[in-house]
């Protein structure tokens, strides 16, 4: 791995062989059990972090709670200035951080850089937002009264993120958290803890340079037990969690039991509808990138293609051709398209899914398989596969975090395709490939896609930060990133002020004393 500059990147990011996994910004703690991070690229040990003990968690929460009282008093545009500085540091460290993302998670270096770019972009967005945390002014029904609403900071926000976007998901949340006047406690995935340490080092430096209190950005590490400390903690009004539907249901119930808020961004089962009017060349690019990008481990990855019968064979053949061109290997080598899965457990799930689709009657058109031999020693490299299947298959209804694409056939009008597309429990991303205006508009209409993201002539993945990101149904309903997603990080207050000497009651009620 040294040939790809990993050692130097780790050094630039301040990541050690052994890292304290708990941090309040200026203080780092490390007495819990170590978590080792092995690269799926070459199975090398990259480094270790300690997991957060209950006592350390208590120290973090004390720090965060205290920092919040101070941070909320800093005017929002000045909070934006701190986020601007953080974005600039990310610009300086884009290459090493992109490299660490690629090496620890396994996505291509290009995608690692893209992920850091998303962090930079959300910082820019948040800086602008820091002057636009607007509420409305309404007309009171009473004379001499003024009514308006305002948004105030909420408190300590808990962030639980997944391995597949080990740095960007935190940033989409925390850049907004900070301009909104909140502080964050972040638990990254235990599969990518060093990305968490690297990010915490970057923000800790910005906070130190600005003599800001520790606790504005906190890091904790560990498995679900550490996550549970946050979901059960009444001092955390909002928990933002990205991950599986299974995890999301546990988090949502724990947080709801204390009437806290959760922002959930869970699994997808994203489809592209390919109609007779589709541009086949664009369809193939969109579908292949959607299915094999990040080795099929994005929550927006394309899992299903719903193809009209009249062009089914043509699209299938074009895909098979395209899959023959794919180069699988070290993601730091820019000649490769597809890197490894995150670990050998993920490989087992990929293999089980392929077995299951065959058992349910599916027909494999591009064979999968685990790669062995030189360059594939980690055992995490798999061949992207394509199977012809039915939407009703159990395995097609599930989100398998791997590069397996299911081809489904539809006949008749686009409504039939929309029904298949919506016929899953997940509701994250969706797309239609068509040059037919009626089909496109139908797909976007009230009777169209039921997903949080619906695209025309674009694939399902690669959403921009400017839009609100998230999905419906079992995807959890949360929205992160752009548009007005910031509102969930604030508490809302309606204010009515009477500037007369009378006290008229609303609804015309008379109450004379």
Hey, which residues are catalytic here? Answer: 265
Half-sphere exposure of 464 (CA within 13 A, CB side): 6
Cα–Cα distance between 179 and 42 in angstroms, integer?
39
Do residues 305 and 339 make contact, with C-beta atoms less than 8 angstroms apart? Answer: no
Closest separation in Å from C-beta 163 to ligand UN1? 10
Radius of gyration of the chain from its Cα atoms, rounded to whole angstroms: 24
Q: Which residue lies nearer to ligand UN1 by CB, 462 or 504?
A: 462
Q: Which residue lies nearer to ligand UN1 by CB, 68 or 469?
A: 469
Name the residue number minimizing CB distance to ligand UN1: 463
User: How do 472-473 and 468-469 pair as beta strands?
Assistant: unpaired
State the Cα torsion 38-39-43-46 to the nearest 10°: -60
Closest separation in Å from C-beta 162 to ligand UN1? 6
Q: Which residue lies nearer to ligand UN1 by CB, 274 or 463?
A: 463
Q: Bridge partners of 305?
A: 272, 407
Rule CB under 6 A: which residues touch ligand UN1? 164-165, 169, 242, 298-300, 461-463
State the Cα torsion 189-193-194-200 to the nearest 10°: 80
Closest separation in Å from C-beta 105 to ligand UN1? 11
Q: Which residue lies nearer to ligand UN1 by CB, 233 or 480?
A: 480
Other CB atoms closer than 10 Å to residue 216's CB: what's the count? Answer: 28
Closest separation in Å from C-beta 242 to ligand UN1? 6
**DSSP H or E run through 150:** strand 145-153
Q: How far apart are the first and last CA of the chain?
A: 83
Closest separation in Å from C-beta 169 to ligand UN1? 6
Q: Which residue lies nearer to ligand UN1 by CB, 212 or 431?
A: 431
Do residues 65 and 185 make contact, with C-beta atoms less than 8 angstroms apart? Answer: no
Do residues 178 and 126 make contact, with C-beta atoms less than 8 angstroms apart? Answer: yes
Q: Bridge partners of 272?
A: 305, 431
Closest separation in Å from C-beta 340 to ligand UN1? 17
Q: Which residue lies nearer to ligand UN1 by CB, 167 or 254?
A: 167
Q: Identify which of 268, 343, 254 has the alpha carbon closest to the alpha carbon of residue 301.
A: 268
């Amino acid at each position: 791995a040294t040939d790809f500059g990993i050692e130097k990147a780790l050094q630039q990011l301040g990541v050690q062989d052994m890292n304290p996994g708990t941090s309040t910004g200026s203080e780092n703690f490390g007495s819990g059990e170590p978590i080792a991070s092995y690269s799926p690229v070459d199975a090398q040990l990259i480094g270790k972090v300690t997991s957060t003990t209950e006592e350390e968690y208590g120290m973090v929460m004390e720090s965060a709670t205290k920092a919040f009282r101070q941070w909320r008093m800093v005017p929002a545009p000045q909070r934006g200035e701190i986020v601007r500085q953080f974005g600039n540091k990310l610009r300086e460290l884009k290459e090493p951080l992109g490299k660490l993302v690629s090496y620890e998670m396994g996505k291509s270096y290009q995608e690692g850089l893209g992920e850091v770019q998303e962090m930079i972009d959300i910082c820019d967005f948040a800086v602008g937002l820091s002057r636009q945390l607007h509420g409305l002014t309404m007309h009171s029904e009473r004379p001499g009264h003024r009514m308006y609403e305002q948004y105030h900071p909420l408190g300590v926000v808990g962030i639980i993120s997944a391995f597949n976007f080990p740095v960007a998901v935190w940033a989409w949340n925390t850049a907004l958290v900070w301009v909104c006047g909140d502080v964050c406690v972040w638990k990254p995935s235990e599969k990518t803890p060093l990305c968490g340490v690297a990010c915490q080092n970057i923000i800790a430096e910005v906070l130190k340079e600005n003599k800001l209190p520790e606790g504005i950005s906190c890091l904790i590490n560990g498995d679900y037990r550490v996550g549970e400390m946050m979901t059960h903690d009444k001092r955390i009004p909002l928990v933002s969690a990205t991950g599986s539907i299974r995890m999301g249901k546990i988090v949502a119930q724990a947080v709801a039991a204390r009437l806290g808020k959760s922002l959930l961004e869970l699994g997808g089962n994203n489809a592209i509808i390919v109609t007779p009017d589709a541009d086949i060349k664009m369809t193939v690019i969109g579908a292949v990138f959607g299915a094999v990008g990040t080795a099929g481990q994005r929550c927006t990855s394309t899992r299903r293609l719903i193809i009209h019968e009249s062009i089914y064979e043509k699209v299938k053949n074009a895909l098979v051709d395209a899959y023959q061109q794919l180069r699988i290997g070290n993601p730091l080598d820019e000649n490769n398209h597809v890197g490894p899965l995150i670990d050998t457990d993920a490989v087992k799930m990929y293999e089980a899914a392929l077995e299951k689709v065959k058992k349910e009657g599916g027909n494999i058109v591009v064979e999968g398989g685990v790669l062995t031999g030189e360059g594939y020693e980690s055992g995490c490299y798999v061949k992207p596969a394509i199977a012809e299947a039915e939407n009703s298959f159990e395995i097609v209804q599930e989100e398998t975090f791997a590069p397996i694409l299911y081809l489904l056939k539809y006949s008749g009008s686009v409504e039939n395709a929309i029904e298949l597309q919506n016929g899953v429990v997940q509701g994250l991303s969706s797309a239609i490939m068509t040059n037919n205006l009626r089909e496109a508009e139908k797909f976007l209409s009230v009777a169209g896609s039921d997903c949080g993201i619906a695209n025309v002539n674009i694939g399902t993945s690669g959403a921009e930060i400017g839009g609100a990101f998230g999905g419906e149904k079992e995807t959890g309903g949360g929205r992160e990133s752009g548009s007005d997603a910031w509102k969930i990080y604030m508490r809302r207050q309606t204010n009515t002020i009477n500037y007369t000497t009378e006290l008229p009651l609303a609804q015309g009620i008379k109450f004379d004393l």
